[in-house]
Structure 1
Amino acid sequence: MDETRFERSITSLLNQALALDPEKEVIYDGTRRINYRELHEESDWIASAMSRLGIGKGDRIGVSLPNWHEFIVLYFAISKLGAILVPFNTRYREDEVEYILSNSGAKIVFFPQDADNLNHADKFIQISRRLDTLQHLITVRFQLDGMESYEDLLKKGKTAPPPAVDIDPKEDLFAILYTSGTTGRPKGVMLTHKNQVYQAIMGVERMLCTPEEVFLMPTPLFHVMGLTLSFRTVAIGARMVLMDKYKPEIALSLIESEKVTYHPGVPTMFILELNHPSFGSYDLSSLRTGEMAAAPCPEEIVRRIRSDMGCNVMVGYGLTETSPTLTQTNFADDDAMRAETVGKAWPGVEIKIADEQRREVATGEVGELACRSIGLMKGYYQMPDKTAEAVDDEGWFYTGDLATKDEKGYIRIVGRKKEMVIRGGYNIYPREVEEIFYTHPKVLEIAVVGLPDTVLGQISCAVIRLKPGETATTEEMRAFIKERIADYKVPDKFVFREQFPVTPSGKIKKVELQHELENELVNELR
């Protein structure tokens, strides 16, 4: 495939949309509507003002904001400077933020006064007293004595254009996204302009997007999914509707009022919407398509998204390290294929399934999914050893996910390599068990994890969140699963919960859940 069409800067996407229709709305965040001309002007002004503060090409810029229009403006201001975005989860505590600021060497950070029940002002002030590299604190939507605000920068930037900067899309970084490591400190994933432009252009082509598209943005802008969807919107000259915080009733209301056509998200979001008591009262007729990723989705939910929501949803797979999308189903696939697989490799992506020695396994066999992709990261920031562990000399990135590939190239994700449960020498892939439970009419969400056992090495535990108003017993759930799966795969324990620990994108944090269960069940484990 011709890769040269992706060798452009992030700024070029905005320039292209600006030339087509400068007065067209691009962002609505519940507080303000912004058109392409305003996005261009304001990103110019912020870039110019940051330049006057001494921020230039290659400098890291921290952004810790909810899904506000200012975040999108900053994407493009950072691109125009040739600087590097370092986004933060707004739920991070002081130690987590300080590590990322220190590791990245960020010179400047943008933050709100409060978000997610945390006082961000106090957090960043305390950190700045300990970090010499952090030179500027910029407040957003509030004022603080002795500090410059986002509004101040807008005013100062109007007096001069930003400096002209040359970008090498293949080599120059646009962002460093820190992955929440299950062990050790987070790793900074280095993504180039080309990585993101590839994802934007290929995404809109695969999803048959037009300038009339209206993207709902329920995932955080500090997450790779939110980042990519923003650039897809601009790449096609469409419009995005930002959600400050995800709530199913707000999502449904926005789809109706803003005539949303494209609904991305994790399966949990769709499940909550479909099961909302007022679901039937919303007009969702504007919906055309969308995509799900990050977790398995039962066939029944795929069917209901398509029939009850009128949303011809796709299922995809990817990681932060791959910008993210690697594989995706297509519009011709049936409900079963969308539920059971994550589709086939995108153009520009190679997939192989490998054994422990990194040799390719036979069709249909389980192994670790490895890939080569135009979207593959440049590496982990300041971690050459970790980069070398993950990416071999031939450019194959080993994902840590267990999968199979069939004769048609469709990928089935079996689970995380580290999540596989080995019970008495038998391998149990949690996802296989979870997908069966998702067909149970009372189950809203489920996670199967391994727990230590002195006899078997590990046992499996099914943690179930029931649909509102439902009740169930261990005996009922065990009876349901035992006729559908080998006896050693039947969970040894069942736990019912109201909530799961989740990532910002809505993915269940299985390692955290595992630790919680080990503490809760300490007297029951042998």
Structure 2
Amino acid sequence: MGHSVNNIKESRWIDASFADALAWGAKQYASQEAVVYGEERITFSQLADRVYAFARGLMQLGVEPGDKVALWMSDRPEWLIARWAVPIIGAILVPVNTRFRNTDVQYILAQSDSSTLIVQDAARSTSYFDILGQLDAGYKSQPPGAWSCAELPALRRVIGLVSAPAGSLPASMAGFLEIEARGAAQLAATGGKPDAALNARIAGLNGQTIAQILYTSGTTSFPKGAMVSHGPLLQNNFYAVDCLKLTTADRYLSCVPLFTATGTFYTLAMWLSGATMVIVDQFEPRLFCEMVEREHITVSFFVDTIVQDLKSFKDLKRYDLSSLRTGTGAPLPTASFHWVTETMNVPELVSAYGMSETSNAVVRTRCDDPIEKRANTNGRPVDGVSIRITDVETNEPLPSGQIGEICISGYVLMKGYYKRPDEDRKVFDEQGWLHSGDLGELDPDGYLIYRGRVKEMIKPGGFNVATQEIEQFLKSYPGVRQAVVVGVPDRRLGEVGYAYIEAQAGADISAEQLQSYCREHIASYKVPRYVEFTNAWPLTGSQKIRKLELKARAASKLENEVNCA
């Protein structure tokens, strides 16, 4: 039968909290280099001391257990400090995608009931303060600690971080570094370690305390917030340490954003193994190669977008990449997996499959698995997790070798979607199995092979995007009568959006106008790559649009254009 089980062999972290892990790592690996960011180098004990200081500062500011704290910042040490500090005081972290624009940000902050926002002024060409200004034109004059904004009804305080050389904070915001300094002053009497007040917060935590809400797009029109807990996150990513054979000798290049589920994986796995995290804020082939050579990187994360960019990088062989030993990534095509292991000589590359709803990966291959398994499957269930494949229509279990929906059971499952019991009922069955909405099969040895998505979703550059979300946004443009978005193959990003648009009578709309509108208000990877206008829709007997037919038509059209070029 298509059912694979792995029992927990070592459960040292399942009942623990982030505070336990932070203290353990700081003691175990005290002088080991934990983080490298540009010229800045931070040891495990130094990072923990900064976390404690910022945590105490948040308490002084009024952040209470159970409060939602949104973190909207590019990858940098302050992101890590906040990501640890928020959950160790019993608050709940809400990572915000740095590609989001005003529409996305407003939804996440409002739906999560975030009462505190930690935000950077700007990164690269994007001003987060300007986007905040689109949501609240009077944000600079809000009373500190008592914000009142109709678009963000729960928001009470904003903590700002200035990264621009000539930047400054408005009086409405508390300064990140000032809060850290205040917290450090509070902890001076205890040598920078937790005082009675902070220890009281820590004592209130356990493995089942919710640590963070990760927003993930599903079949509904807007993202859903998966509530995941301290213990499962720690235990699951501790298992990853063993699969990748991570030690204090390893150095991880974090070229996938910290706000992702992947960011949680490498933050926790590197901390628990004593490995060093080298932070770069974006992936670029030359920068990747330079950092691998300079920092003697042994581990990284590979999605197919990264692989395709590296394959196209003409100077690849000029760099010494011989330190690379292992890595993991989103389900990679077999050819891409072999290219990384053979051309880039990453001999112990492993594969995985997971979801935000499952505390990261639910199946993994191991460094010592045969290459055929690592390249062609996503692995066997992690400790304490069961996987079964069911018929999409009947929900009956399927035998190995048959494709159906991937269903998951075990300690890793989320508590549910924040304030979305209707969505909980859609994904959890009566036995408590989570229905992933993804297709897969199990081979005779119990290894999972991911086969795509059941849900109407596209995945450009590794980001899950519900097409209905894009459709609803397109229909907000003046003159758009109908919008349908499907996914089409893309060599670099894996999949991109193809939008079919029906304009209202007399409306004068161009593809460029629609794409520009999208770029201004939603994440870049949600912007449709192609736009086609139509007024004839293929319909079912119940007058629903046949999206699969449109998807096939779009793919065929693009293939013909390539052949004719």
- Into which bin does the TM-score normalised by the smaller protein fall? 0.7 to 0.9
Q: Distance in 1 between matches of 2:29 and 2:372?
A: 40
- What is the 5 A alignment of 1:426-445? none
Q: Distance in 2 between matches of 1:465 and 1:132?
A: 42
The answer to whether the aligner puts 1:360 opposite 2:386 as a matched pair is no
Cα offset for 1:39?
0.8
* Bigger Cα displacement from structure 2, 324-333 vs 371-380: 324-333
Query: Is the 8 Å Cα contact of residues 219 and 456 (structure 2) preserved in structure 1?
Result: no
Cα offset for 1:217?
0.6
Flag the 1:466–1:4 CA change in 2: closer, same or farther, 3 A. closer
Structure 1 residues without counterparts, runs of 5 or longer: 421-429, 432-448, 450-457, 468-500
Query: Is the 8 Å Cα contact of residues 302 and 335 (structure 1) preserved in structure 2?
Result: no
Query: Is the 8 Å Cα contact of residues 328 and 351 (structure 2) preserved in structure 1?
Result: yes
The code of the aligned residue for 2:86 comes to I
Cα offset for 1:139?
1.1
Structure 2 counterpart SS, 1:272:
helix
Structure 2 counterpart SS, 1:313:
coil
Alignment-derived partner of residue 305 in structure 1: 340
Alignment-derived partner of residue 389 in structure 1: 426
Alignment-derived partner of residue 143 in structure 1: 168
Q: Distance in 2 between matches of 1:112 and 1:379?
A: 29
Alignment-derived partner of residue 437 in structure 1: none
Alignment-derived partner of residue 60 in structure 1: 68
Query: Is the 8 Å Cα contact of residues 84 and 174 (structure 1) preserved in structure 2?
Result: yes
Alignment-derived partner of residue 498 in structure 1: none
Query: Is the 8 Å Cα contact of residues 110 and 153 (structure 2) preserved in structure 1?
Result: no
Cα offset for 1:522?
8.1
Structure 1 counterpart SS, 2:214:
strand
Q: Distance in 2 between matches of 1:297 and 1:520?
A: 34
- What is the 5 A alignment of 1:42-61? 42-61=50-69
Cα offset for 1:339?
3.2
Alignment-derived partner of residue 28 in structure 1: 36
The answer to whether the aligner puts 1:296 opposite 2:321 as a matched pair is no
Q: Distance in 2 between matches of 1:61 and 1:76?
A: 12
Query: Is the 8 Å Cα contact of residues 227 and 416 (structure 2) preserved in structure 1?
Result: yes
Choose from 223, 230, 234 the match for 1:186. 223
Q: Distance in 1 between matches of 2:370 and 2:525?
A: 26
- What is the 5 A alignment of 1:204-223? 204-223=241-260
Structure 2 counterpart SS, 1:385:
helix
Cα offset for 1:373?
2.7
Q: Distance in 2 between matches of 1:78 and 1:233?
A: 19
* Bigger Cα displacement from structure 2, 329-338 vs 76-85: 329-338
The code of the aligned residue for 1:275 comes to S
Cα offset for 1:169?
3.1
Structure 2 counterpart SS, 1:159:
helix
Q: Write the deviation string for residues 114-155 of structure 1: whole angstroms up to 9, x where unpaired.
A: 235332113334446333421111111243130221111122
* Bigger Cα displacement from structure 2, 281-290 vs 2-11: 2-11
Flag the 1:118–1:5 CA change in 2: closer, same or farther, 3 A. closer
Alignment-derived partner of residue 494 in structure 1: none
Alignment-derived partner of residue 277 in structure 1: 314
Alignment-derived partner of residue 114 in structure 2: 106
The code of the aligned residue for 1:323 comes to S
Query: Is the 8 Å Cα contact of residues 316 and 325 (structure 1) preserved in structure 2?
Result: yes
Query: Is the 8 Å Cα contact of residues 124 and 137 (structure 1) preserved in structure 2?
Result: no
- What is the 5 A alignment of 1:367-378? 367-378=404-415
Q: Distance in 1 between matches of 2:70 and 2:329?
A: 28
- What is the 5 A alignment of 1:122-137? 122-125=130-133, 126-127=135-136, 129-130=149-150, 131-137=152-158
* Bigger Cα displacement from structure 2, 349-358 vs 2-11: 2-11
Flag the 1:270–1:77 CA change in 2: closer, same or farther, 3 A. same
Q: Distance in 1 between matches of 2:251 and 2:358?
A: 25
Under a length normalisation based on structure 2, what TM-score does the superposition of the two structures give? Answer: 0.74
Query: Is the 8 Å Cα contact of residues 218 and 455 (structure 2) preserved in structure 1?
Result: no
Choose from 310, 323, 347 the match for 1:286. 323
Q: Write the deviation string for residues 271-325 of structure 1: whole angstroms up to 9, x where unpaired.
A: 32233111001111111110121x43233x3223122222121111111111210
The code of the aligned residue for 1:57 comes to P
Alignment-derived partner of residue 354 in structure 2: 318
The answer to whether the aligner puts 1:195 opposite 2:203 as a matched pair is no
The code of the aligned residue for 1:309 comes to M
Query: Is the 8 Å Cα contact of residues 261 and 360 (structure 2) preserved in structure 1?
Result: yes
Q: Distance in 1 between matches of 2:375 and 2:534?
A: 33
Structure 2 counterpart SS, 1:337:
helix
Flag the 1:61–1:402 CA change in 2: closer, same or farther, 3 A. same
Flag the 1:167–1:275 CA change in 2: closer, same or farther, 3 A. farther
Give me the CA root mean square deviation: 3.0
Query: Is the 8 Å Cα contact of residues 86 and 92 (structure 2) preserved in structure 1?
Result: yes
Cα offset for 1:350?
0.3
Q: Distance in 1 between matches of 2:284 and 2:333?
A: 19
Query: Is the 8 Å Cα contact of residues 143 and 149 (structure 1) preserved in structure 2?
Result: no
Q: Distance in 2 between matches of 1:227 and 1:240?
A: 12
Alignment-derived partner of residue 155 in structure 1: 181
Under a length normalisation based on structure 1, what TM-score does the superposition of the two structures give? Answer: 0.79
Structure 2 counterpart SS, 1:359:
coil
Query: Is the 8 Å Cα contact of residues 67 and 244 (structure 1) preserved in structure 2?
Result: yes
Alignment-derived partner of residue 450 in structure 2: 413
Q: Write the deviation string for residues 207-242 of structure 1: whole angstroms up to 9, x where unpaired.
A: 111111111111111101011111111111121011
Q: Distance in 1 between matches of 2:303 and 2:81?
A: 25
Flag the 1:521–1:248 CA change in 2: closer, same or farther, 3 A. farther
Cα offset for 1:96?
1.5
Specify which structure has the bigger relative contact order, considering alpha-carbon pairs within 8 angstroms and separated by 6 or more residues. 2
Query: Is the 8 Å Cα contact of residues 327 and 343 (structure 1) preserved in structure 2?
Result: yes
Flag the 1:461–1:17 CA change in 2: closer, same or farther, 3 A. closer
The code of the aligned residue for 2:344 comes to M
Query: Is the 8 Å Cα contact of residues 111 and 138 (structure 1) preserved in structure 2?
Result: yes
Query: Is the 8 Å Cα contact of residues 44 and 77 (structure 1) preserved in structure 2?
Result: yes
Query: Is the 8 Å Cα contact of residues 348 and 373 (structure 1) preserved in structure 2?
Result: yes
Structure 2 counterpart SS, 1:350:
strand
The answer to whether the aligner puts 1:14 opposite 2:22 as a matched pair is yes
